[in-house]
Amino acid sequence: MSNVSHSSARRRLLRGLALAGGAAVLSGCVSALPASGPAPGRFVRRELTSNGRRYAYQVFVPSAQLPRPLPAVLFLHGSGERGDDGEKQIHAGLGPYVRAHAADFPALVVFPQSPEGESWEGDTAMMALATLDAATAEFDGDRSRTSLTGMSRGGYGTWSLALREPTRFAALVPVCGGITPPGSRPDLEDLFVESTRAAGDPFAEAARRLRDIPVWIFHGALDDVVLPEQSRRMHVALRDVGADVRYTEFPDANHNSWDATYRTEALWPWLFAQKR
């Protein structure tokens, strides 16, 4: 009888150990599972037809956890990103910064692509504005908190599109751009803002028409492509008409001042605080 009891007790002990071991394994599996969290923002490709021509563009859509409607940013690339692949424009300037901060960048960002050999004027300007409108409607962008930024040829485009639509944007961030031809190379004589070209003082005319929009201008002091005098003159012209304008000149930067610009921590809270 005692042997039967001993055997039963031993079987109960083994079963208990097995159950305990199984629970330990299950517990280990649970603790090894990755913690779930909100999905980061993502880039999506879109296309539209403007004036009978098909264009590809990209949109950065923030995490679904962020409240809607979203602040929106229209980004205009430089000469080197022109084309029709719908990709190059997200690999220089604002795109790499947004990608590195995809988990928490709080705004919708629209990346149109200018065709080869064109500036942000005429049909290309209309296309860029159409991509902004389409993305704003599809992804719940906030029209009252929409800003415009661009670099180099896109810096010129920032001034140009703002002059075309002076009530559309809550803030402007032109980077190494300008108003008149940059004065550095003959091959860049096509680089100017069309709507102020005939004015006696194109800088004063642009400032007069844009004085109600907050602006933060950025440029590199060593820029030998678009000379910093372009941004310096525009800063003075805006200041003279009482505009809300800031100017940052990076003393050691050449033409590539866009990386330093978009890494400027104070830029983003300032930009997203602007509202029409």
221 touches 251 (CB < 8 A): yes
Q: Same domain, yes or no, for 113 and 96?
A: yes
Phi/psi for 216 (5° steps) reads -125, 115
Q: Same domain, yes or no, for 169 and 57?
A: yes
Q: Same domain, yes or no, for 7 and 139?
A: no
Q: Same domain, yes or no, for 254 and 223?
A: yes
User: Which CATH number goes with the domain that contains 57?
Assistant: 3.40.50.1820
Rounded to the nearest 10 degrees, what angle do helices 202-210 and 229-240 cross at?
50
Inter-CA distances, 275 with 65, 166, 267, Å = 22, 14, 15
Q: Same domain, yes or no, for 259 and 218?
A: yes
Domain assignment of residue 224, given as a range = 42-273
210 touches 238 (CB < 8 A): yes
What is residue 32's predicted lDDT score, i.e. its pLDDT?
40
Rg (CA), the chain: 27
What is residue 34's predicted lDDT score, i.e. its pLDDT?
42
What is residue 184's predicted lDDT score, i.e. its pLDDT?
79
How many domains would you assign to the chain? 2
What is residue 37's predicted lDDT score, i.e. its pLDDT?
63
pLDDT digits (tens, 9 = 90+) for 42-91: 999 999 999 899 999 999 999 988 999 999 999 999 999 999 999 999 99
What is residue 19's predicted lDDT score, i.e. its pLDDT?
35
Q: Same domain, yes or no, for 99 and 210?
A: yes
Q: Same domain, yes or no, for 172 and 120?
A: yes
Q: Which candidate, 92, 57, 96, 58, places its Cα nearest to that of 77?
A: 92
Retrieve residue 152's tokens. Answer: 């180099």
Enumerate residue ranges in the chain where pLDDT < 70.
1-37
Q: Same domain, yes or no, for 17 and 93?
A: no
Q: 168: helix, coil or strand?
A: coil
Q: Same domain, yes or no, for 128 and 264?
A: yes
Q: Which candidate, 106, 109, 79, places its Cα nearest to that of 94?
A: 109
Look at the block and give the residue holding tokens 């999506």: 44
Distance, CA of 158 to CA of 173 (rounded, Å): 7
Q: Same domain, yes or no, for 228 and 243?
A: yes
Q: Same domain, yes or no, for 149 and 134?
A: yes
What is residue 13's predicted lDDT score, i.e. its pLDDT?
35
Its pTM stands at 0.86
Q: Same domain, yes or no, for 209 and 99?
A: yes
